[in-house]
A and B are shown apart, each in its own frame.
Chain A
Amino acid sequence: MSLAARLEQTAKTGAPIAFRTKRPWPGAIVSWLQAAPLALVLLLMFVAPLAFVVVVSFFDYGRVDIYPAFMLDNYVEVFTSEVTGRLYLKTLEYAALVEAITLVLGFFVAYYLTFHVRTLRWRIVLLLACSIPFFTSNVIRMISWIPFLGREGILNDAVMATHLVSQPLDFLLFSDFAVVVAYVHIFTLMMVAPVVNSMAKIDRGLIAAARDAGATEGQIVRDIIIPLSKTGIALGSVLVLTQVMGDYYIVRMLSGGKSAGVVTGIATQLNAFEYPPAAASSVVLLIVVITLVVGIFSLVDVRKELAA
């Protein structure tokens, strides 16, 4: 019934307008229906496959196929192989380095944008400038370092032109250096965005109050800004660390196959159709990653940060 019709009816009968003829559905049911598509996709394409990986990690395997079983051999292999330790060490080394660099870089970029850039217009323009590469292809961004860092690349030409070295520097491309550079290039925005988000919520009055109290810029950063943006820092760190730990492509392309991380090892097993050992290695890495994430998230309330 249209509102006008209802008003007319009200005028005739003198009864109040009945806006709601039946009781609304209980909120919980509405919420479940609304969340169902998300839950369904995640269940089918994420939880179930993951469960599959866990199950298969206990299976036996032959040259061409895998056989249902319950054996721990695959895990024994993971924990006894000396390769495992080496791969984890390498991955953790990359993760620690990249985390440290993106944290410093991301924090100061976010700090500059939030507290030094004064007008909203410029803040948006500069933040966009930082974000645009995120919306372009990661493979292309990896490739783009090759003409930059190669033996005949721009960087080597520049270094040679200074006559400081007589030979082109070989460590620039297909090396750990190149891998870390590409990681930082691709993942820094994952740190910048959550930190900017946290910092934007800091009341400017707090900064003025701290200045009033005589704090220097360094003291304000230490006492006010870092504590109040730690949720963003935690979120950014989780994104960066998990991306680095789960990466296989960047390390392969930019180390030229010379270096390998944990996932590289798993990919090798996959290529050899050794699914159960690959699954066992995956489960182990998964536990490591989840422990790390839970550890970081236990320090802050991420859901609150995202919802606010």
Chain B
Amino acid sequence: MMTEVGQPRPKSFYVLGFFFLLFLAFLYGPMIVIFILSFQGPDGGMSFPMVGRSTLWFQQLLSGTGRIGDIPSAFVRSLEMALVAAALTAAICVSAGMAFRRRFRGSGLLFYTAVSSLVMPSLFVGFGIALGFKELGWKTSLFTSGLGAQLTWTLPFGLMITFATIGRFDRRYEEAATDLGASSWQRFRDVILPIILPGVIGVALFGFTLSYDEFARSSLTVGTANTLPLEIWAMTTAATSPVLFALGTVTTVVSFCVLTAALVTIGVIMRRRAGSGRPATS
């Protein structure tokens, strides 16, 4: 307890620190195991020991041999979908976040609808959309019902991040812009958006990764073209070789790259801001 620098650390610090390390091991241990196993030798199985080392399973993944579906096209579909979902999530959430800065008729209802969408069992959402499309005689497809189903998942998360970001925004900047004669659009474009940009990138990051990994809401709504997580889910029952782990490694690496890119961008913006914002010292 008490966190000031210069005070001795209490015993609880070490106990909780050990506990925290165990938690990290619990989080990462299994993931690390599948990374290692994805380099299993040709004669190795789905668990230790490693029988040699190879990149055979990655090659199988690319060529589509070994009882797996068309992984490369599923991957491309997933990426496209995730990009669209990220852009839409950021745009819709920032717009709604601006709306929620004042109370308007129906604001409570809209907020609680968004929360409900978050806590709703995912299968129902997919089921409802699929049922609706079926009864209306429409065909479910990736960028109609599939995208819609994913947005019911990414938007509530994005909205929470947006609230946190806009909640921290100091309205005096905006008042200053108004005083200087900016129109409401200029105020948004020149003052608000640049200041909340790191948060907006965060929202887009959530939109991307949640869409890229989503499968519970997608499974009944994407139509005939599977996304990557759906292919993986299908493989879990069919694949009996480490090719599954190779796929796991690849998709996790992609997630890491996206995450790193987003964090680096946010970091660069923050650093530049801190650098230029520092008062000139004599």
Establish whether residues A144 and B30, one from each chain, have CB atoms under 8 Å apart when the complex forms. Answer: yes
A146 interface contact, C-beta 8 A:
yes
Which one, A136, A197, A303, contacts B31 given CB within 8 A?
A136
Residues on B with beta carbons closer than 8 Å to the beta carbon of A50: 120, 124-125, 128
Establish whether residues B48 and A31, one from each chain, have CB atoms under 8 Å apart when the complex forms. Answer: no
Complex interface bits, B233-253 against A, C-beta within 8 A gives 1, otherwise 0: 100100000001100100110
What's the minimum C-beta distance from B118 to chain A, rounded to whole angstroms? 8
Which one, B37, B96, B121, contacts A242 given CB within 8 A?
B121
Establish whether residues B232 and A137, one from each chain, have CB atoms under 8 Å apart when the complex forms. Answer: yes
B119 interface contact, C-beta 8 A:
yes
9-residue interface stretch from A71-79, A82-90, A127-135 = A127-135
Establish whether residues B104 and A135, one from each chain, have CB atoms under 8 Å apart when the complex forms. Answer: no
Which one, B46, B119, B212, B220, contacts A239 given CB within 8 A?
B119
If the complex has contacts A37-B95, A130-B24, are A147 and B37 also in contact, measured as CB distance less than 8 A? Answer: yes
Establish whether residues B124 and A217, one from each chain, have CB atoms under 8 Å apart when the complex forms. Answer: no
If the complex has contacts A31-B104, A52-B132, are A139 and B229 also in contact, measured as CB distance less than 8 A? Answer: yes
A112 interface contact, C-beta 8 A:
yes
If the complex has contacts A38-B93, A290-B116, A308-B167, are A136 and B121 also in contact, measured as CB distance less than 8 A? Answer: no
Establish whether residues A34 and B95, one from each chain, have CB atoms under 8 Å apart when the complex forms. Answer: yes
Residues on B with beta carbons closer than 8 Å to the beta carbon of A126: 20
- Bound Cα distance A53, B127 (Å): 8
If the complex has contacts A28-B105, A185-B26, are A42 and B33 also in contact, measured as CB distance less than 8 A? Answer: no
A98 interface contact, C-beta 8 A:
no
Residues on A with beta carbons closer than 8 Å to the beta carbon of B248: 137, 140, 143-144
Establish whether residues B96 and A116, one from each chain, have CB atoms under 8 Å apart when the complex forms. Answer: no
Most buried by B among A28, A31, A49, A147: A49
Closest partner residue, chain B, to A261 (CB atom): B121
Establish whether residues A38 and B155, one from each chain, have CB atoms under 8 Å apart when the complex forms. Answer: yes
Establish whether residues A35 and B209, one from each chain, have CB atoms under 8 Å apart when the complex forms. Answer: no
What's the minimum C-beta distance from B36 to chain A, rounded to whole angstroms? 9
| 191-247 of chain B: CB within 8 A of chain A | 205, 209, 212-213, 215-216, 220, 229, 232-233, 236, 244-245
Residues on B with beta carbons closer than 8 Å to the beta carbon of A111: 16
A275 interface contact, C-beta 8 A:
yes
| 26-85 of chain B: CB within 8 A of chain A | 26-31, 33-34, 37, 45-48
Complex interface bits, A33-60 against B, C-beta within 8 A gives 1, otherwise 0: 1110111011011111110110010000
Residues on A with beta carbons closer than 8 Å to the beta carbon of B159: 38
- Bound Cα distance A119, B164 (Å): 22
- Bound Cα distance A302, B114 (Å): 13
Closest partner residue, chain B, to A39 (CB atom): B110
How many A-B pairs have beta carbons closer than 8 Å: the answer is 286
Establish whether residues B124 and A282, one from each chain, have CB atoms under 8 Å apart when the complex forms. Answer: yes
Establish whether residues B96 and A135, one from each chain, have CB atoms under 8 Å apart when the complex forms. Answer: no
What's the minimum C-beta distance from B196 to chain A, rounded to whole angstroms? 14
Which one, B123, B132, B180, contacts A263 given CB within 8 A?
B123
Residues on A with beta carbons closer than 8 Å to the beta carbon of B181: 3, 6, 17, 19
Establish whether residues B99 and A34, one from each chain, have CB atoms under 8 Å apart when the complex forms. Answer: yes
Which one, B132, B152, B215, contacts A42 given CB within 8 A?
B152
Which one, A31, A105, A129, A248, contacts B216 given CB within 8 A?
A248
Closest partner residue, chain B, to A204 (CB atom): B3
Establish whether residues B20 and A42, one from each chain, have CB atoms under 8 Å apart when the complex forms. Answer: no
Residues on A with beta carbons closer than 8 Å to the beta carbon of B127: 49, 53, 266, 270, 278-279, 282
Instruction: Give the bracket for the number of chain A residues in contact with chain B.
Output: 35 or more
A174 interface contact, C-beta 8 A:
no
Establish whether residues B119 and A49, one from each chain, have CB atoms under 8 Å apart when the complex forms. Answer: no
A267 interface contact, C-beta 8 A:
yes
B275 interface contact, C-beta 8 A:
no
- Bound Cα distance A19, B26 (Å): 60
A11 interface contact, C-beta 8 A:
no
Establish whether residues A27 and B102, one from each chain, have CB atoms under 8 Å apart when the complex forms. Answer: yes
A94 interface contact, C-beta 8 A:
no
Complex interface bits, A205-221 against B, C-beta within 8 A gives 1, otherwise 0: 00110010000010010
B143 interface contact, C-beta 8 A:
no
| 118-167 of chain B: CB within 8 A of chain A | 118-125, 127-129, 131-132, 135, 148-149, 151-152, 155, 159-160, 163-164, 167
Establish whether residues B33 and A137, one from each chain, have CB atoms under 8 Å apart when the complex forms. Answer: no
A253 interface contact, C-beta 8 A:
yes
Closest partner residue, chain B, to A49 (CB atom): B128
Residues on B with beta carbons closer than 8 Å to the beta carbon of A92: none
B4 interface contact, C-beta 8 A:
yes
Establish whether residues B30 and A135, one from each chain, have CB atoms under 8 Å apart when the complex forms. Answer: no
Closest partner residue, chain B, to A48 (CB atom): B132
Establish whether residues B213 and A117, one from each chain, have CB atoms under 8 Å apart when the complex forms. Answer: no
- Bound Cα distance A201, B93 (Å): 24
Closest partner residue, chain A, to B178 (CB atom): A19
The 10 A-B pairs with the shortest beta carbon distances in the complex, nearest first, are A246-B121, A49-B128, A34-B99, A144-B30, A45-B148, A242-B119, A35-B99, A31-B104, A38-B96, A140-B248
A-B contact pairs, 21 of them (CB 8 A): A24-B184, A27-B104, A31-B98, A38-B92, A38-B96, A46-B152, A49-B128, A52-B131, A117-B3, A126-B20, A133-B28, A135-B258, A141-B31, A153-B47, A157-B48, A211-B2, A242-B119, A249-B216, A263-B123, A289-B120, A293-B119
Known A-B contacts: A46-B152, A117-B3, A249-B216. Give 12 more (CB < 8 A). Answer: A45-B125, A46-B128, A48-B132, A136-B256, A137-B229, A139-B236, A141-B30, A185-B27, A217-B10, A266-B124, A275-B131, A285-B124
